[in-house]
Homo-oligomer: A and B are copies of this chain.
Amino acid sequence: MRADTMSISHRDQVRQPDVAVVRAITASSGYFSQEEERLAGSLVLERLFKGLESGYHFLFAERAGQGGQADTFAFACYGPVPCTQGAWELYWIAVRQDMRGHGHGGELVARAAERMAALGGRRCLAETSARAQYAPTWRFYEAAGFTPVATVPDYWAEGEDNLIYMLRLGREEKTP
């Protein structure tokens, strides 16, 4: 374990400045369109407005910044899929560009998955593009324990399929 991981903390409370934080993290990643950046911010607003009734749970990763102020550098947004028994979806996971490549995203997903399981989640879904440029995203999900389970043709755009990943939540896979 690298020394700097010792100073990473996680929080699930959502505050007003997180609208801007989430947009900045999303923008920095270079992965998302402006529409997606706006959407990510709007989910924080929805959560602030409606609380957990919104269906949006957040988990943030922070480190101690200059002057002791927390520097929020990554977030996950997830929630239960309405009308299902225990299906959850990981809607967003993003790590600010300067903090990528250190396993913080995987750590955040693992912690979010624990929380979903504790709230009765059986399965976690994640959706991404089947276009080859998303191969790093596929590898990220696969490293986090997700399996591709379905493909929806022409979903994101004509010729751009949706790749649906699934993670089994809970501890049953750890029995020997």
B residues less than 8 Å from A156 (CB atoms): 83-85, 87
A137 within 8 A of partner (CB)? no
Query: Do A33 and B83 touch (CB < 8 A)?
Result: yes
B residues less than 8 Å from A118 (CB atoms): none
Q: Give the size of the chain A interface in residues (CB under 8 angstroms).
A: 27
A157 within 8 A of partner (CB)? yes
B residues less than 8 Å from A153 (CB atoms): 149, 166
Number of copies: 2
Whether A86 contacts B125 in the complex (CB less than 8 A), given A150-B151, A152-B149, A164-B152, comes out as no
A39 within 8 A of partner (CB)? yes
Query: Do B33 and A157 touch (CB < 8 A)?
Result: no
State the CA gap A163–B139 with chains docked (Å): 26
B residues less than 8 Å from A114 (CB atoms): none
Cross-interface CB contact of A158 among B33, B85, B149, B160, cutoff 8 Å? B85
Query: Do A157 and B85 touch (CB < 8 A)?
Result: yes
Cross-interface CB contact of A87 among B87, B151, B155, cutoff 8 Å? B155
A63 within 8 A of partner (CB)? no
A67 within 8 A of partner (CB)? no
B residues less than 8 Å from A87 (CB atoms): 154-156
A residues whose Cβ falls under 8 Å from a Cβ of B: 33, 35-36, 39, 81-87, 122-123, 125, 149-158, 160, 164, 166
User: When A and B form their complex, which 4 residue pairs have the shortest distance between CB atoms, in order from nearest?
Assistant: A85-B157, A150-B150, A150-B152, A84-B156
